[in-house]
């Protein structure tokens, strides 16, 4: 099947991705034509051939009248995308990237995704970059996505919120669990938009997998530093149906291999706190990087009902979690201990149904697929848009993925039989 490998030796941004797609063969005029269905005004799209340290690349530019651009919420961006004439796959992939951005911004600003108002990443150029990238991948019929470790740069950058360190807080949140390095050149090399696109698509992060290269494309960044070709390289090719890439997985911290890992378990019993506060405390725990948080009803001394609040986190986050619990709850103390956990390797894959494209969460132990579950948000949105029962969309997605598993199994068995002969 067709795959893309993001070679982020000079970072990644939305415009670099589209530039590289055009260099790979995506027709720029066809891309522009599809983008017009977004009905975004006050912008002009241009592409040009440039060189970065002697390497030929395509520079994608969106010229925007920034004074005419409002701050947009996640719902505003979803409405723009959903009312377009784009395919369901492009819509789903684009919305997923913005959902990840909203979740990252929400964690940074201690709010919820629906209350986030985008500024830089909600502008017309970011919407065009994100949606345009998803259109390009569909035009090239790409099914699998992999990525190298990312050069993120160092220093600081001016933003709507003032001068911030590199990587920007939202970018750092998006890249949790993804292998990154600073590099020796100061500046921002990974933008929030670029990070969201890559993280929303890629199954694994690491070295180039086994791939039959068809073509490579270079998308130029705005800067042209001496000694480094500031460009993103996309490698397009064919990978085996069961191709596996060792490296960090898509869903960041939650998606780890099925091997024991160390975690800290923090517990406290509470029987004198307003129940409304528990939701706030659990949200704060996840903002601080909790792996899990949950409540268990317990009976405490003097037969009073209470709750056992449990938080799982990485050892390095222990002190921050304890400080939060002591300041945000009525507890007089907490207990904690180290535990071992074993988690399955998990990934997000896409399946096409008669209703549209649906993400599927897949759990594996090595080469074995143990179980899978269609993404509820995708199924609920599609069911609402199509006016069909939710259970029908979920069943269609499950059937489509089960069919894929059976085809992969048959292909493997045929391959084994051929080798035996």
Is 262 exposed, middle or buried, given 0-12, 13-18 or 19+ CB atoms closer than 10 A?
exposed
Q: What is the pTM of this model?
A: 0.59
Distance separating alpha carbons of residues 348 and 355, to the nearest angstrom? 19
67/31: higher pLDDT: 31
Distance separating alpha carbons of residues 107 and 173, to the nearest angstrom? 8
> What mean pLDDT is reported for the chain?
86
Eight-state DSSP code of residue 357:
E
| Local confidence band at 256 (pLDDT 50, 70, 90 cut-offs) | very low
Lowest mean pLDDT among 55-59, 68-72, 97-101, 197-201: 68-72
Is the CB of residue 321 less than 8 Å from the CB of residue 313? Answer: yes
What is the model's pLDDT at position 350?
81
* CA dihedral sign, ordered 245, 250, 256, 258: negative
| Local confidence band at 289 (pLDDT 50, 70, 90 cut-offs) | confident
Q: Is the pLDDT of residue 40 over 50?
A: yes
Q: Is the pLDDT of residue 411 over 80?
A: no
Q: Is the pLDDT of residue 244 over 70?
A: no
| Local confidence band at 245 (pLDDT 50, 70, 90 cut-offs) | very low
| Local confidence band at 421 (pLDDT 50, 70, 90 cut-offs) | low
For the segment 309-352, what is each residue's pLDDT rounded down to a tens digit?
A: 999 988 878 888 999 999 999 999 999 999 988 878 777 788 88
Q: Is the pLDDT of residue 214 over 80?
A: yes
- Copy the structure tokens of residue 112: 């919820």
How much is the average pLDDT of 137-146?
A: 93
| Local confidence band at 161 (pLDDT 50, 70, 90 cut-offs) | low
Ordered DSSP codes for 56-67? EEEEEEEEE-GG
For the segment 175-199, what is each residue's pLDDT rounded down to a tens digit?
A: 988 899 998 889 999 999 999 999 9
């Amino acid at each position: 099947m067709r795959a893309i490998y993001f070679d982020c030796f000079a970072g990644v941004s939305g415009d670099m991705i589209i530039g590289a797609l055009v260099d790979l063969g995506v027709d720029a005029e066809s891309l522009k034509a599809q983008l017009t269905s977004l009905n975004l005004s006050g912008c002009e799209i241009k592409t040009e051939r440039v060189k970065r340290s002697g390497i030929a690349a395509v520079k994608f530019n969106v010229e925007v009248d920034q004074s005419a651009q409002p701050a947009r919420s996640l719902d505003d961006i979803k409405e723009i995308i959903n009312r377009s004439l784009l395919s369901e796959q492009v819509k789903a992939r684009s919305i997923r990237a913005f959902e990840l951005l909203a979740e990252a911004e929400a964690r940074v600003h201690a709010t919820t995704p629906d209350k986030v108002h985008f500024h830089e990443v909600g502008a017309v150029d970011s919407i065009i970059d994100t949606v345009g990238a998803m259109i390009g991948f569909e035009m090239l019929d790409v099914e699998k996505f992999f990525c190298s470790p990312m050069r993120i740069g160092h220093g600081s950058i001016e933003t709507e919120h003032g001068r911030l360190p590199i990587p920007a807080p939202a970018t750092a949140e998006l890249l949790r669990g993804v292998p990154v390095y600073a590099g020796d050149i100061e500046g921002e090399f990974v933008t929030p938009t670029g990070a969201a696109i890559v993280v929303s698509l890629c199954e694994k992060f690491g070295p180039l997998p086994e791939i039959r290269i068809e073509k490579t494309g270079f998308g130029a960044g705005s800067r042209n530093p001496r000694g480094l070709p500031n460009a993103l390289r996309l490698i397009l090719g064919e990978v085996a149906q069961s191709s596996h890439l060792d490296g960090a997985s898509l869903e960041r911290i939650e998606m780890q291999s099925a091997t024991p890992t160390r975690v800290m378990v923090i517990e406290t019993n509470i029987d004198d706190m307003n129940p409304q506060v528990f939701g706030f405390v659990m949200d704060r725990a996840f903002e601080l990087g909790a792996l899990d948080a949950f409540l268990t009803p317990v009976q405490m001394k003097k037969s009073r009902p209470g709750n056992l609040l449990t938080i799982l986190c990485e050892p390095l986050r222990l002190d921050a979690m304890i400080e939060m619990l002591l300041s945000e709850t009525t507890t007089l103390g907490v207990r904690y201990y180290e535990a071992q956990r074993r988690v399955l390797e998990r990934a997000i894959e896409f399946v096409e149904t008669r209703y549209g494209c649906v993400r599927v969460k897949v759990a594996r132990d090595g080469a074995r697929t143990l179980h899978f579950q269609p993404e509820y948000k995708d199924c609920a949105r599609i069911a609402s848009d199509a006016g069909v029962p939710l259970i029908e969309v979920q069943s269609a997605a499950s059937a489509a993925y089960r069919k894929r598993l059976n085809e992969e199994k048959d292909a493997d068995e045929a391959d084994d039989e051929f080798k035996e002969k």
